Structure 1
Amino acid sequence: MLKKMLTIGLSCYALNVVALDNVKIMIGANPGGGYDQTARGIGAALQAAGQAKAVQYENRGGAGGTIGLAQFVNTSKGDPNALVVVGAVMVGAIETNKSPVNLKDVTPVARLLAEYDVLVVPANSKIQTLKDLIAAVKANPGAVSWGGGSKGSIDHILAGLILKASDVDPTKLNYVPFAGGGEAAAAILGGHVTIGISGLAEFLPYIKSGKMRALGVSADKRVPEVDIPTLREQGTPVSIANWRGVYGAPGISADQQAALIKAVTAATQTKQWQDTLDKNEWQAALLTGDELAKFADTEQQRIGAILRVLGLVK
């Protein structure tokens, strides 16, 4: 009887054990941006799910996240409580910065979310549809200016993919990079660029107010609660997401990787995480372990290829 009681007690204790101790999340960006919001959102969700006792964050911005990734690889080997935020921007930065470290040097845990781009024009633009835009680009690529994020960003990559899919030489892309969404929005509304590209959340207030017209989103299917057609359904076979997720440290065991995957998956099922997604107009896009590794490899090849076409990688 005593043995049975001890067994039951230990089983109950096991159910209440926090999966992770003091979680440390490396953020390869400065405070306030998408990587930072993702890190702090999933960190809070880990605690809300009872999967982490405490969470510490370290911001190490620069070079599209690759500086933070390099530091993580060099200092966190074998640490089962360490995570680094990764994503599509980092995939591109690994190529453009010729980073000595890449996602193969860390342990895949979970892709968490997808943030889709939207193409917009000012409300008074002569361009009414995506078809109009493609026609204008085919007629004179240089006359169509595309305003978006920094060179090599997902916005830039998307513009290049659209030209390529439309049988227009991507090297003729007239891309105007901006430091932030506010600067880009001002340029679009002022008619200083023909078309704008950014994350849906960035331009959604202008779309809802009628100041901008949305031509399409870069998702595979329409984003829930936002009635904007995808590029694909309008005949342009292009989709891309500014996805973000977390990887574990190099050198951890398969059991430690599994524990991280289990903990992060539980965190994504909390109201805390759903509120983070809703607040930022992000879409849930959970993908874990080996499947994430395969996805990241495919992304590296696709993004690297278009960056080379655009002349951003040699």
Structure 2
Amino acid sequence: MFIKKVIALGATTVMLASAASADVSVMIPAGPGGGWDGTGRQAFNAMNAAGIYTEGVNFTNTGGAGGTIGLAAFQNSEAGKADALAVFGAITVGSIMLNSSPIDLSTYTPIARLTAEYLVIAVDANSPIQTLDELVAAMRENTGATPVGGGSAGGVDHIALALLAQAAEVPVADLNYIPQTSGAETVTAIVNGTLQAGISGISEFAPFQEQGRIRILGITSNERHASLPDVPTFAEAGYAVEIANWRGILGAPGMPADNAAEWVARFDQLSETPEWAQVLETQGWDSFYLSGPAFGEFIGAENERIGEILKGAGLIQ
């Protein structure tokens, strides 16, 4: 399969390679190298390896505002097209609300929910903070002087920190949350002291713990995760927080029904292949598969659930 790499910096798109025109276009509403980028590229690599879809793919990265900039561009340019797909996830749902974006996810074509990735919170490897309790104590003592970084404001990282604060009786409105562009940027800020702690997905932080740069204090799963067996859950530390960052694929608004059914069938097939199982294992992602109209119903329910969380945390009215 030929893959044409396209990287967008702000609104500028830079072609890195080109060949025959691609058969499908995939919008990744984030910068290269993050969870959404990995989800889109790994899914199509596995689909190609499994022989499910072996034609060309044109990836476009357009980051910013929790995916809302990329999805808005996708909506404007790809509506009604047969083979136009976009990666998105839980972050997008909250960011649409926080940014008062005009994007209406119910107008998109639900294809497949692919993965869930639990979140971890970490400090510098040399930090005197050794446990989640000690980090919470620092937040209680001087909330504003305890900067914590993560993904987009209103995204799942921000929501997880707000839920931790609520559970620990730390005023959510006083949190010093500083959005970062990627997990790697968050780690850099932790190590150089700009952040006291950071929160991100397992796949983004685990490699940096292996390198000895950070220390992971807790995970938002309901039980210890196989990829980080020594890391306690938030619940083990006494904070009843469980949340995962799910990611999936949308079709363009107004995608013809026959094409939507074809893409749902392809992802249904992919979800059961050993090639995709290997991707999940390698990336530390959990399978969270759901497709078609059932996925659309899930998106609607998530819109309500995340909206209530954001309102309860005082992040939106």
The verdict on a shared fold, with TM-score over 0.5 as the criterion, is yes
Q: 3-state SS of the aligned residue for 1:86?
A: strand
Task: Report matched runs for 1:67-78 at 5 Å.
Answer: 67-78=69-80
1:95-151 per-residue CA deviation (whole Å, 9 max, x = no partner) reads 123222221011211111122221112344343322333333334323432133343
Alignment partner of 1:264 is 2:267? yes
Match of 1:242 in 2: 245
CA distance in structure 2 between the partners assigned to 1:200 and 1:258 by the alignment: 32
Match of 1:207 in 2: 209
Q: 3-state SS of the aligned residue for 2:26?
A: strand
Match of 2:108 in 1: 106
Report which of the two structures shows the higher radius of gyration computed on alpha carbons.
1
Match of 2:13 in 1: none
Q: 3-state SS of the aligned residue for 1:70?
A: helix
Match of 2:38 in 1: 37
**Cα shift at 1:303:** 3.0
**Cα shift at 1:252:** 4.4
**Cα shift at 1:59:** 1.3
Q: Which of 163-172 and 33-42 deviates more?
A: 33-42
Q: Which of 166-175 and 276-285 deviates more?
A: 276-285
Question: Percent same amino acid among aligned pairs?
Answer: 43
One-letter identity of the residue aligned with 2:39: T
- Conserved? CA contact 1:108–1:289, under 8 Å: yes
- Conserved? CA contact 1:144–1:194, under 8 Å: yes
- Choose the corresponding residue for 1:140, options 119, 139, 142: 142
CA distance in structure 2 between the partners assigned to 1:172 and 1:200 by the alignment: 26
One-letter identity of the residue aligned with 2:137: A
Match of 2:219 in 1: 217
CA distance in structure 1 between the partners assigned to 2:135 and 2:297 by the alignment: 34
Match of 2:165 in 1: 163
Match of 1:297 in 2: 300
CA distance in structure 1 between the partners assigned to 2:239 and 2:256 by the alignment: 43
Structure 1 runs not aligned, ≥5 long = 1-20
Structure 1-normalised TM-score?
Answer: 0.80
- Conserved? CA contact 2:166–2:313, under 8 Å: no
Inter-CA distance 202–52: structure 2 relative to 1 (3 Å threshold): closer
Q: Which of 142-151 and 260-269 deviates more?
A: 142-151
Task: Report matched runs for 1:162-201 at 5 Å.
Answer: 162-201=164-203
One-letter identity of the residue aligned with 2:46: A
One-letter identity of the residue aligned with 2:154: G
Match of 2:3 in 1: none
- Conserved? CA contact 1:48–1:270, under 8 Å: no
CA distance in structure 2 between the partners assigned to 1:149 and 1:130 by the alignment: 20
CA distance in structure 1 between the partners assigned to 2:151 and 2:298 by the alignment: 24
One-letter identity of the residue aligned with 1:182: A
Inter-CA distance 71–207: structure 2 relative to 1 (3 Å threshold): closer
One-letter identity of the residue aligned with 1:144: T
Structure 2 runs not aligned, ≥5 long = 1-21
Match of 1:59 in 2: 60
Q: Which of 24-33 and 38-47 deviates more?
A: 24-33
Inter-CA distance 139–71: structure 2 relative to 1 (3 Å threshold): closer
Inter-CA distance 78–133: structure 2 relative to 1 (3 Å threshold): same
1:228-279 per-residue CA deviation (whole Å, 9 max, x = no partner) reads 2221333212122222110223334665544322211212333433343344
- Conserved? CA contact 1:45–1:268, under 8 Å: no
Q: Which of 215-224 and 76-85 deviates more?
A: 76-85
Calculate the aligned-residue CA RMSD, in Å.
2.8
Matched positions, count: 294
CA distance in structure 1 between the partners assigned to 2:72 and 2:165 by the alignment: 34
1:55-96 per-residue CA deviation (whole Å, 9 max, x = no partner) reads 322415143322332343344444443322111222122112
- Conserved? CA contact 2:219–2:233, under 8 Å: yes
